[in-house]
Structure 1
Amino acid sequence: MPIQPLTTQIVGSYTKPHWLARHLKMRALDGSWWRPDPEVLADAKHDAALLALYEQERAGLDLVNDGEAQRASYDRHFLRCLTGIDYDHPDKIITNSEVTTNETDPADLEEYFGHSATKARVVSEISWAGPLTVDELIFTKAHASRPIKANLIGPITLAGQVSDHAYGDEKALAIAIARALNQELRALQSAGADVLQIDEPYFHTRLSAARRFGKEAIEVLVQGIEIPVILHVCYGYALSHKVKSTSPTYPEALQILADCPIRGISLEYEQPKHNPDILRYCGSKHIVLGLLDLANREIETPEHVAARLQDTLAIVPPERLHPCSDCGMWYLPRPVAFGKISALVAGTNLVRQRI
């Protein structure tokens, strides 16, 4: 499927119901995120996926997914498609982000951060353990009436979710993960995904790694992939980064991505209040533009979305510009999430009418 001008979409996750998940356990390694009993869990995941898909199509999004309802986290979920990982003896690792412009309020997120610090161990050579998300895609394709985007974690970000006891070298670990994830991407391509998205926030928050081997890791990751690939790079969930100042290192992350073999860059734009000039750092890539502030429970007006989108057309032509949410929406109340994606579509339609 060719990417059409002003293709509306969400980054990845949509509202995940509390009957399905314990939200503060999103990063737990032991499966305690899920509320339903094991014998009904698969049905519960499918019901949540159908609800997410229905609301995206009802709002009028052009490119849809299952809201990531069938997976707990956008990143650690993919450890299950790797060999060489020990979940039973995790390490506790506290890391400081290289990005210091984000202000967090951890008072109500102690459990969330505690699980985030628990890292599975890499104990032997990493390889692909077999398809993990193909069944998720097949289920979505069976029920969607619109083109489908499938999401996969990036190798630098996933490398940051483990404790290395095997490679002893950050680059070697990331490249090994990239090779394994490439097989998952190939499987999703074969299963009929229309667009693939790589989620790589660590391209920004671990910029030193992106500088040293980010391009090489992405080249390995997308080898043999012929359908459009978008790479998402952001500041982090608004759940834990409730106030965001414009990061001085974000443009450099975009510049690195502009030289990578991908079709488009998905960037966070609304919450940090970027201006259109930042899009110049994306080169000639398609731009998936975050226009929904997910730290704010107020629903954007279509006019606000249209104004922010219209301003960027001075930098990027509509055939390379695609309105989106800033980041994942899994923690938002459903009425807020649906209101926001409806405003995204309505605002985009206002701009379509003008051009």
Structure 2
Amino acid sequence: MTSTAHRGLEPLSTQIVGSYVKPHWLARHEKMGTFDGSWWRPDAAVLDEARRDAALLSICEQERAGLDLVTDGEAFRAAYDRHFIAALDGIDVELLDDRSLPDETGAIRRDETGLDEFVAHARMRPRIVSPLSWRGPATEAEARFLKAQARRPTKMTIVGAFTLYTRLSDRFYADPAEAVLALARALNHELRAMDQAGIDVLQIDEPSFHLHHARAATIGAEAIRTMIEGIEAPVLVHVCYGYAVVNRDKSWSGLYPKVLDILAGLPIAGISLEYEQPRHQPELLAHCGDKHVVLGLLDLAAPQVEAPDHVARRIEAASRIVPAERLHPASDCGMWYLPRGRARAKLEALVAGRDRFRGAQA
């Protein structure tokens, strides 16, 4: 099934992971993770219009850069994970717990210089206080807007159940696995809403499969299977090392191949990898089995724009392990904080590098 070309996953189709530039006229970047609406700059009376304008700008930027598969840049969302809490019952977002989980990889050096407020908000955890259930779609209107505006195949992302659980404080469930699967059942409804809206490719974001691998190894696979039940569109799972805005230096992690081994055994279409910033090498890709591979080739911590020849060489090397029909050049994740000019130039370099690789193969 995974070698079959899907709309949006044609050979060497280019894309971003999910988020694109969040303009400063739209958002206060330091307030990501808040629940009081202070992330948004526009007044409530014009906020919906501003978010639609930002989403349309993201779509147009991706299409003008030449990407084959486009998102709305996650412009409607303050944060990729917390956005979905609004669709769930059983969570208290008024009284938050201050806690953080240790990174298990040992491969990331955080640099919080000038990011004190951003990091402080990220530590705050809404509390699970009663049975978790789905209240209604958080993204259906976003999906329909994307489909109406995009001229190319579309992709939308959703936070994974395990990752969302790590961003909550569980005051109700005695067994974490029970809570994770309750989240997975609820988020399955959200994925179904995206699927029914006609989104071409769906993606589950699960960075905690890597960052908190010990528990993910026991319950992560079942959570993914539960989330994708009944979904007709191809599903990708994205796993990374965290945002480059904070995690400036990333080295090879011995846990990352183990994560890919888990994903390779699941009934999903593909795996989205962070690849460029940690300087991964092609041998890693053998752990992806026969899945489509969305390959991150733009280092978002680097201010310089990648040379198209570099991108082409990285694709060529990867294609020795994963055939081009299942290989999809992309950015690493988290473009939301980048200056627009840099982000656009990086996307253009990605497309140019893909085209040079294609030309060399012709």
For the criterion TM > 0.5, the same-fold answer is yes
Q: Please state how far the C-alpha of 1:94 moved relative to its aligned partner.
A: 2.7
Match runs of 1:1-355 below 5 Å = 1-2=6-7, 3-355=9-361
Separation (CA, whole Å) in 2 of partners of 1:30 and 1:97: 27
Separation (CA, whole Å) in 1 of partners of 2:355 and 2:146: 26
Query: What amino acid is aligned across from residue 259 of structure 2 in structure 1?
Result: A
Describe the SS at the equivalent of 1:52: helix
Separation (CA, whole Å) in 2 of partners of 1:209 and 1:185: 24
Gapped regions of structure 1 (runs ≥ 5) = none
Could you give the per-residue CA deviations for residues 95-141 of structure 1, whole angstroms, max 9, x where no partner exists?
Answer: 21112210011121111110011111111111111111010011111
Q: Percent identity?
A: 55
Describe the SS at the equivalent of 2:96: strand
Note if contact 1:218-1:261 (Cα within 8 Å) is conserved in structure 2. no
Could you give the per-residue CA deviations for residues 171-217 of structure 1, whole angstroms, max 9, x where no partner exists?
Answer: 11110000000001011101110000000000100101221011111
Note if contact 1:279-1:315 (Cα within 8 Å) is conserved in structure 2. yes
Q: Which runs of 4+ in 1 moved over 3 A?
A: none
Describe the SS at the equivalent of 1:287: strand
| Aligned positions, number | 355
- TM-score for the superposition, normalised by structure 1: 0.99
Note if contact 2:105-2:254 (Cα within 8 Å) is conserved in structure 1. no
Note if contact 1:10-1:328 (Cα within 8 Å) is conserved in structure 2. no
Query: What amino acid is aligned across from residue 290 of structure 2 in structure 1?
Result: S
Describe the SS at the equivalent of 1:106: coil
RMSD: 0.8
Separation (CA, whole Å) in 2 of partners of 1:316 and 1:208: 28
Separation (CA, whole Å) in 2 of partners of 1:162 and 1:212: 19
Note if contact 1:16-1:331 (Cα within 8 Å) is conserved in structure 2. yes
Query: What amino acid is aligned across from residue 158 of structure 1 in structure 2?
Result: L
Q: Please state how far the C-alpha of 1:168 moved relative to its aligned partner.
A: 2.2
Separation (CA, whole Å) in 2 of partners of 1:107 and 1:150: 32
Separation (CA, whole Å) in 1 of partners of 2:338 and 2:76: 17
Q: Please state how far the C-alpha of 1:230 moved relative to its aligned partner.
A: 0.4
Q: Please state how far the C-alpha of 1:70 moved relative to its aligned partner.
A: 0.7
Note if contact 1:6-1:320 (Cα within 8 Å) is conserved in structure 2. yes
